[in-house]
Amino acid sequence: MVMDIRRERSSRLAVVGLFLLVLGLFLDASNFVNANAVFKVKHKFGGRGRHLSLFREHDDRRHGRSLAVDIALGGDGSPTETALYYTKVGLGTPSEVYYVQVDTGSDILWVNGIGCTKCPKKSDLGIELRLYDPEASSTAKEVTCDQEFCNVVFGNALSGCKAGAGCPYAVTYGDGSSTSGHFVKDIIQLEKPSGNLKTTIMNGTVAFGYATNQSGQLGSSSDALDGIVGFGQSNSSMLSQLANSGKVKKIFAHCLDGSQGGGIFAIGQVVEPKLNYTPLIPNQPHYNVILKTIQVDETVIQLSSNLFGSTDRGAVIDSGTTLAYLPDEIYNPLIAEILDGQPNLKFINIEQPFTCFEYSKSVDDGFPAVKFTFQNSLYLAVYPHDYLFQVREDTWCFGWMSSGIQSKDGQNMMLLGDMVLADKLILYDLENQTIGWTEYNCSSPIKIKDEETGAIYDVGYHDLSSGDNVTAGWITLMVLTFSMFACFLQNLDLHWGR
Which residues are marked as active site? 103, 318
According to DSSP, the β-strands at 198-215 and 227-230 are unpaired
Provide the CA 377 distance to its chain's centre, in angstroms. Answer: 25
Q: Give me the DSSP letters along 409-473.
A: TS-B-EEE-HHHHTTEEEEEETTTTEEEEEE--TTS-EEEE-TTT--EEEE--B---TT----TT
Q: What is each CA distance from 437 to 14, 228, 232, 254, 278, in whole angstroms?
A: 32, 26, 18, 10, 9
Sequence-distant (≥ 6) Cβ neighbours of residue 89 within 8 angstroms? 97, 98, 100, 188, 229, 475, 476, 477
- Cα separation, 65 vs 487, in Å, equals 10
Sequence-distant (≥ 6) Cβ neighbours of residue 63 within 8 angstroms? 1, 71, 73, 321, 405, 489
- Cα separation, 97 vs 85, in Å, equals 17
According to DSSP, the β-strands at 478-479 and 37-43 are parallel
- Cα separation, 340 vs 367, in Å, equals 9
Burial class from Cβ neighbours inside 10 Å (0-12, 13-18, 19+) for residue 486 reads: buried
- Cα separation, 232 vs 65, in Å, equals 17
